[in-house]
Amino acid sequence: MKLNKNQRRNFILPALLVVLALLGNLIISSTQASTTTPGASAATAGGEVIGWGYNGYGQVNIPAAAQSGVTAIAAGGYHSLALKSSMPTNAAPVALSKNVTISAGSGCTASVTAAQVNNGSYDPDGDSITLSLNSTGPFGIGSHNVTLTVTDSNGASSSATATVTVVDTTNPALACPSNITVYLPPNSMDTSAVVNYPAPTATDCSSVNITTSKASGSAFPVGTTTVNVTATDAAGKQSTCSFTVTVLYNFSGFFQPVDNLPAVNVANAGSAVPVKFSLSGNKGIAILAAGSPISQPLACGGGTPADIEETATATTSGLNYNATTDTYTYVWKTDKAWKGTCRQLNVKLNDGTSHVANFQFK
Ligand SMILES: [Ca+2]
Ligand SMILES: [Ca+2]
């Protein structure tokens, strides 16, 4: 049978479609569709067949799907067919992020890495992925938003956001004043002194509150007082330091008959030696440290001998104060057994100071 031109036109396309249908489950969805139907497509085992053509036969425009990725084309009459292979498509990676909290380092800042923010990002295709952050810092104390971008080896990417919180976990740097020593006002009955000390200083990544166990400008008693200082930062981190405030008597040195060092006082063993001194004012009778005075053996030799010109009649040791002469007298009852030996007398006051005199007994 010989076909004219129109007959051939009307025959070729259906024939071709039939062939394709035989080859692979061809399904024509719109061979006689309206003019708005962009084309016909058919899914096959190996790809996708797209047909289009003259409006009178149902297909009109070149479908968008047939404008790229076409591996073969057939045309005849008013119809065309394109074959697209089922090329694998690339799936974008999945970005998963997590919020992180980081301790501030030196400079009170911290940096973050993409790996720290990453929470198991992956690529559905199994492609290798790279991680990046829009900013790695350094960030100051507080919260900061970052964006994690995950890119696969095909260049597809996804992003996720996270919060980076930089916290202060460092104790304050605290500096205490140096130890302070003051003397009681001379010629007074005062047994305490008002002491002003330099303010302790603290530095920290956050605000710091400083407290002291005894305020500057307080009356400090005779002796040594330890002032404890605590610095607490906004995160509750604490540092401590301490310093001492020592208030001393105005010890005069020993009066006669006792000579001060380096003299060696020569006394009769068993005699009572009046040990006299002043603290520049009546400080009461409770001026000695516990157990004071004491005497200890001393190697004889050295020093300038000086006789004890005056002795007391007391049979026991004891302390008294004479307001008229502003003199404390400690009567030191020596031991007869000390004859031929030397000893050092230590008068330790309750301000913590020790005052010694050397003796040789005859
Ligand atoms: Ca991928
Ligand atoms: Ca801190």
Confidence of residue 57 (pLDDT cuts 50, 70, 90): low
Whole-number pLDDT of residue 305: 85
Query: Is residue 70's pLDDT more than 70?
Result: yes
Residue 52 has pLDDT above 80, yes or no: no
Centroid of ligand 2 to alpha carbon of 114 (angstroms): 26
Give the pLDDT confidence score for residue 63 in this predicted structure: 74
Beta strands 173-175 and 201-203, pairing class:
antiparallel
**What is the C-alpha separation between 244 and 166, in angstroms, rounded?**
38
Q: Which ligand is nearest to the CA of 202?
A: 2
Which pLDDT score, from 0 to 100, does residue 87 have?
A: 59
Distance, in Å, from the CA atom of 38 to the CA atom of 61, rounded to the nearest integer, reads 6
Ligand 2 mean position to 106 CA, how many Å? 11
* Cα–Cα distances in angstroms (integers) from residue 270 to residues 260, 292, 339, in the given order: 21, 19, 8
Q: Is the pLDDT of residue 17 over 90?
A: no
Paired tokens of 290: 């516990």
Gap between the Cα atoms of 101 and 107, Å rounded: 17
At 302 the pLDDT is 79
Ligand nearest to the CA of 122: 1
Reply yes or no on whether the pLDDT at 251 is more than 90: yes
Q: Which numbered ligand comes closest to the C-alpha of 88? A: 1
How much distance in Å is there from the Cα of 294 to the middle of ligand 2?
A: 50
Q: How far apart are the first and last CA of the chain?
A: 163
Write out pLDDT tens, residues 174-193.
Answer: 999 999 999 999 999 999 99
Q: How far is the CA of 91 from the centre of ligand 1 (A)?
A: 4
For residue 85, the CA-to-ligand 1 centroid distance in Å is 19
How confident is the model at residue 86, as a pLDDT? 62
In this prediction, residue 310 carries a pLDDT of: 82
Give the pLDDT score at 58.
Answer: 59
Distance, in Å, from the CA atom of 249 to the CA atom of 186, rounded to the nearest integer, reads: 9
Of the candidate ranges 35-39, 232-236, 259-263, 333-337, the one whose mean pLDDT is the lowest: 35-39
Ligand 1 centroid distance, CA of 272 (Å) = 105
CA of 52 to the centre of ligand 2 (A): 74
Query: Which ligand is nearest to the Cα of residue 108, counting in written order?
Result: 2
Q: What is the pLDDT of residue 290?
A: 96
pTM over 0.85, yes/no: no
pLDDT in tens, 301-341: 877 888 888 878 877 788 999 999 999 999 999 999 999 99
The Å distance, Cα 205 to ligand 2 centre, comes to 5
What is the residue-averaged pLDDT of the chain?
Answer: 86
**Ligand positioned closest to the Cα atom of 234:** 2
Tokens of 164: 């980076």
CA–centroid distance, 151 to ligand 1, in Å, is 8
Ligand 2 centroid from CA 198, angstroms? 22
Q: Which ligand is nearest to the CA of 103?
A: 2
Q: Which of 202, 185, 198, 250 is nearest to 227 (CA)?
A: 198
Taking the C-alpha atoms of residue 33 and residue 39, their distance in angstroms, rounded to an integer, is 8
101 Cα–ligand 2 center, Å: 15
- Ligand 2 centroid – CA 330 distance (Å): 55
Query: Residue 18: how many CB atoms within 10 A of its CB?
Result: 12
